[in-house]
Amino acid sequence: MHDDRGLVEARLKRVLDERVRPAVYPESVPLDVAVWNAPGEPVAVAEGLAAPVTPVAVGDMWGPPWGTSWFRVTGTVPEAWAGRTVEALLDLGFDENMPGFQCEGLVYRPDGTPVKGLNPRNQWVRIGAPVDGGEEVRLHIEAASNPVLLDYHPFVPTSLGDIETSHRDPLYRLTRMDLAVFDETVWRLVIDLEVLGELMAELPVDSGRRYDVLRAVDRALDALDLQDVNGTAAAARGELTGVLSSPAEPSAHRISAVGHAHIDSAWLWPLRETVRKVARTTSNMTALLDEEPEFVFAMSQAQQWAWIKEHRPEVWAKVVKAVSDGRFVPAGGMWVEADTNMPGSEAMARQFVHGKRFFLDEFGVENDEAWLPDTFGFAAGLPQIIKAAGAKWLLTQKISWSQTNKFPHHTFQWEGIDGTRIFTHFPPVDTYNCAMKGSEIAHAARNFKDKGVARHSLAPTGWGDGGGGTTREMIAKAARLRDLEGSAQVVWETPADFFAKAEAEYANPPVWVGELYLELHRATLTSQAKTKQGNRRSEHLLREAELWSATAAVRDPEFAYPYADLDRIWKTVLLHQFHDILPGSSIAWVHREAEKTYAAVAAELTALIERAQRALVGEGAQALVFNAAPHPRDGVAAGGAAVAAAVAAAGPSPRPDGGFVLANERLRVEIDARGLVVSAYDRLAGRETIAPDRPANLLQLHPDFPNMWDAWDVDAFYRNTVTDLTEADEVTAGDGASVRVVRSFGSSKVTQTLALAPGSSRLDVFTEVDWHETEKFLKLAFPLDVHAERYASETQFGHFYRATHTNTSWEAAKFEACNHRFVHLEEPGWGVALVTDSTYGHDVTRTVRTEDAGTTTTLRVSLLRAPRFPDPETDQGLHRFHHALVPGATIGDAVREGYAVNLPGRRVLGAGPVAPLFTVDSDAVVITAVKLADDGSGDVVVRFHEAHGGRARATLTPDFAAASVTTTDLLERPLTAPEPTPGPVPVTLRPFELRTLRFGRG
């Protein structure tokens, strides 16, 4: 037989595009349209429905950037259409290639009942099936004219990312506003042909199945009268029955389809627009659940559920019903799909506390899975947190974006720093926006790396990023793929059903130890420095507010613990840890609002702290210092307040060759005439910290123009070009034991203060940058005379080791990595730490010196970037950073100094000292939270972990009448029976083990 495969496939494409798809709606009549343009921010539904409207026609422009227009569409169903299915086709000017990234709408009935959302892949509204003819149609559309920012030519700087800088010209043209007859038979033929055409394209060219499908498609096209598609569609479908009913091979891969709409809580749109995106999407999904009995939809991010409840009660009612039916599934158990690299220990824990508690309180649903499809890599401390929250599974697919190395598993056990293992799945479909295309299903089956020992994978199915969700076309395709020869088998299932099956079939999955590092989007550790500083500051203020409020409430029965305020503020901070806010990859509007929010959070938490501290110390004239850090300092106990030891600081002494010397009994630091640190001599150990002839405190400037994803990425070639900023405008003695250094470069200016306090082993470096560069990367370098093959970075509830070398491509790919409060390098018997109050990104490299064969290990912290997309003014303006170099530091010193820098003492005048609620007799045991139990019982909760990486035995002593102690999970639910507590509690911890204890008060 002659090979006519190409001919038939080309025929199929043209007939589908030009004849069959247009015949889905064979008849139509125009609707009358009128519009009211809201003058500012979105209005309440009742106001939009009642607003006066002006006639508008198809073809007219509408919608300035970020505007809201309320369209009213009216018409009459023709009498001749009686007995047929009729839909309204409402095209606001959509580009079908951009679902979730442009204009969208939510359709309402005149009484305010939401009907469904409109987006580029979902433009229809069912009027009747069948209609009687003559019905009056009246619908209202709340239409958002959100600008397209990630266009066909992506990453172009634009002023449209903030309503304050956007133009006011209309963006969209009304394209279609019709009533139309919907021919379901033709629509089903479209799905048949799409599924078979996509299947053919994935089958081997020499397979018999491919030609069976080809011949059936050819016969179907022969049966189709192109001048009467509607009259012959049924006959064409009949020719396809055989190939569509041929069952899948017994060995076929099995895919659990989970309806999904990944909705970024903010990204190329502000938070207020996400509230509406969620309403549109959930309206669509509840309607689809009513129509499709096998369909299951899962939605994560408790914050988004809370938005529906607060802002769209009419949508919430539908969601609640769908959840009760078991088919609209709360997923993930987190407040938002957060970044997991940068949030601190307690913040990461609270993501699960607040997320899981919301779903438990509202629906009685316990989430067993963490659901993070789009987060930019996963910190090594996360498995323990997931387990401590009462969950046991993790799903993500983002690691498939890694540029250098292909991750070796799709289903595996992920082991964290403490040894906790979490059953983890990476969907081999490699997208969280699966549309049930044949290419996606075939890719999932081919790509699955655990063949032979496992056969299940998951496919999050539906349009995402900007929402939209699953469509009826996707569901129809999945129905045909349920048991189809040549394809993987597809079935709708909940995440829990999938994980239970996957875990049951894979008794001994492989183990991956340590962080799940994304070899992409590394610059998110640095972009939008003020957002990152706001997060770090908020985390520590929350620690203080809880600690001092709990202490005051226990000491004074009249003191009211601020339960509601802390709950609300925590949720605000957790929201801003979303994986496009904290990473700095959102539009200018998002980060402008975030800066204001963090300022308000700081003011409110400071007021709560001051209120509690005032209640604790009473009226008096003693100068007391409150120490919220987990270690004693300056004679003040951890978690207490006392008169701090006063120590006078000696000023700097001149250096013979220019510059100054800062010295105390522990450390001698030489700063040359350029303001660079040329020596940091550890007097106690008798050794130098700084590598010879390689000065520290060196600011380095790189060009920074990645190949794509400007705010997200820094590409390795940025290192090829560097400018050392060695010229100083001035180097002068500062106040006390400090040196002031001023530099100018480009359009920017840096002012630094280098300080050494009496008795301290810490050289503090305060850096103020007035930053006005674009597409540049600013680093602060410390070349250290240390030979180490690995170094430690703090992460949640511990630290994680990375290599200093690049033996393999896996190590070379980690050229920018994350730390929390410290980075620590160590030779046997001696180490050095660099601590930070707000930066996260860093790099570590090593070279061998030719002059003495010694090793220089250079640690550089990342200060600022200046990408132009999506915010063209990223990081412009004034920034302040605090770093500290700690020569001779053990890992315990690094932990202690990291807390000290981030939790400075607070001076308060009062009557007398305050004893801590808890003391612990081991520096290795670090208390991360002291608070009252969330249930309002008055019980006191303390959370702590082993912080040095070894086993610890300690005694935890409460300084109040404790009647009982119970070990709990993160949600403060008992894991053990309460035990009587007459006093001190002995604790034994594994390396990095996390523990939460709940003390009942006597």
Q: How far is CA 773 from CA 162, 184, 704, 854, 868, in A?
A: 21, 58, 11, 36, 11
Q: Specify the DSSP class assigned to residue 18.
A: I
Q: Specify the DSSP class assigned to residue 24.
A: G
- According to DSSP H, which parts of 618-709 are helical? none
- How far apart CA 418 and CA 989 sit, in angstroms, is 10
Structure tokens at 425: 């799945």
Q: Which of 769, 345, 766 is closest to 530 using CA atoms?
A: 769
- How far apart CA 238 and CA 560 sit, in angstroms, is 74
Give the number of other Cβ atoms within 10 Å of residue 406's Cβ.
10
Helix (H, G, I), strand (E, B) or coil at 831: strand
Q: Which of 375, 379, 439 is closest to 401 using CA atoms?
A: 375
Q: Are 879 and 864 in contact (CB under 8 A)?
A: yes
φ and ψ at residue 66, rounded to 5 degrees: 70, 15
What is the signed CA dihedral for 79, 80, 84, 90, rounded to 10 degrees? -70
- How far apart CA 510 and CA 595 sit, in angstroms, is 43
In terms of DSSP bridges, do strands 456-461 and 254-259 run parallel, antiparallel, or are they unpaired? Answer: parallel
Q: Which of 681, 719, 720, 722 is closest to 698 using CA atoms?
A: 722
Q: Out of 91, 218, 374, 764, which one is annotated catalytic?
A: 374
Structure tokens at 82: 């009686």
- How far apart CA 856 and CA 788 sit, in angstroms, is 9
- According to DSSP H, which parts of 142-228 are helical? 184-202, 208-223
Q: Which of 137, 148, 76 is closest to 110 using CA atoms?
A: 137
Q: Which of 676, 633, 822, 647 is closest to 737 using CA atoms?
A: 647
Q: Which of 271, 275, 269, 318 is closest to 297 using CA atoms?
A: 318
Q: CA angle, corner 172, sides to 167 and 175, nearest 5?
A: 170
Q: Are 771 and 875 in contact (CB under 8 A)?
A: yes
Q: Over the range 670-699, which residues count as b (16 or more CB within 10 Å of their CB) and which as e?
A: bbbebbbbbbbbbeeeeebbbbeebbbbbb
Q: CA angle, corner 513, sides to 860 and 384, nearest 5?
A: 95
565 assigned to active site = no
The catalytic residues are 374
